[in-house]
Amino acid sequence: MQRIDRTDTEGAAMIKIENLHKRFGDLEVLKGVDLEVRAGEVVCIIGPSGSGKSTVLRCINRLEEITSGRIVVDGYDLYDPQTDINLVRTEAGMVFQQFNLFPHMTVLRNVTLGPIKVRGMTRAEADKLGKELLAKVGLAEKAQNYPDQLSGGQKQRVAIARSLALKPKVILFDEPTSALDPELVGEVLDVMKQLAKEGMTMVVVTHEMGFARDVADRVIFIDQGRIQEQNPPQAFFGNPQNPRLKDFLSRVS
């Protein structure tokens, strides 16, 4: 398997999407999306329900087949038949709205399963890493608990630790706080802010405009299957151009 563009690994584009089209039968959901995300950049994606936000993330993690276009992650062309899909999935971690933890496994096992299965770590190595990561998300004392003994915010923090355990180059967050009670949103956003500060490359689909404003390097508005506008937060929120974005912001902020 071959990296097609060495420069991609050297601080330039971590993700490069070119003219991405995706259709489900007759429904064309993505109608030519171009997007570059640099290493260490935090990009927030906002837009109306059904506009294709999740589909973009799912294409970046190859959870969907694309209709046409090209997606390069860390120098690997995702849809090149030569590309090892399992390797690529470990390059881009994903955190979902529904946490998708395994209910019959302890918190620690949920975090260590990936490193053991995918990275071939020994259980001892994985346990050490898992405990470090649980400490990082503030859940060291919950290692031996089961998911149903945790709050939603704690579950989502476990899901973030699990994603980090595969040492991804980028983490894709799909509305990570939308399923949480309002008082639990902050603890998850705080963990995400910390990751951003440490230089993790992140693409975050969110309705949390405060987070986008404070943490994003760039905010993107997707509507009708296209990127309609993108800017650093100050310009994006302070001086929106696209009428549909203006309308959207007037309804959510």
> Does residue 51 bind ligand ADP (CB under 6 A)?
yes
Asked if 60 and 51 touch (Cβ cutoff 8 Å), the reply is no
> Does residue 51 bind Mg ion (CB under 5 A)?
no
Provide the pairing of β-strand 170-174 with 92-95: parallel
> Residues in contact with Mg ion, total (CB under 5 A)?
1
> Residues in contact with ligand ADP, total (CB under 6 A)?
11
Of the two residues 76 and 221, which places its CB atom closer to Mg ion in the complex? Answer: 221
Of the two residues 22 and 169, which places its CB atom closer to ligand ADP in the complex? Answer: 22
Question: Across-strand partners of 223?
Answer: 226
Closest distance to ligand ADP from the beta carbon of 222 (Å):
7
Residues near 210 by beta carbon (within 8 Å), at least 6 away in sequence: none
Asked if 126 and 75 touch (Cβ cutoff 8 Å), the reply is no
Q: Any idea which residue has 């997007």 for tokens?
A: 35
Asked if 147 and 169 touch (Cβ cutoff 8 Å), the reply is no
* Binder of residue 55, out of Mg ion, ligand ADP, none (CB less than 5 to 8 A by kind): ligand ADP
Q: φ and ψ at 218, to 5 degrees? A: -150, 140
> Does residue 54 bind Mg ion (CB under 5 A)?
yes
> Does residue 102 bind ligand ADP (CB under 6 A)?
no
Residues near 80 by beta carbon (within 8 Å), at least 6 away in sequence: 4
In this chain, which stretch among 27-35, 46-54, 181-189, 242-250 interacts with Mg ion, using CB under 5 A? Answer: 46-54
Closest distance to ligand ADP from the beta carbon of 5 (Å):
27
> Does residue 228 bind ligand ADP (CB under 6 A)?
no
Query: What is the contact surface with Mg ion in residues (CB under 5 A)?
Result: 54
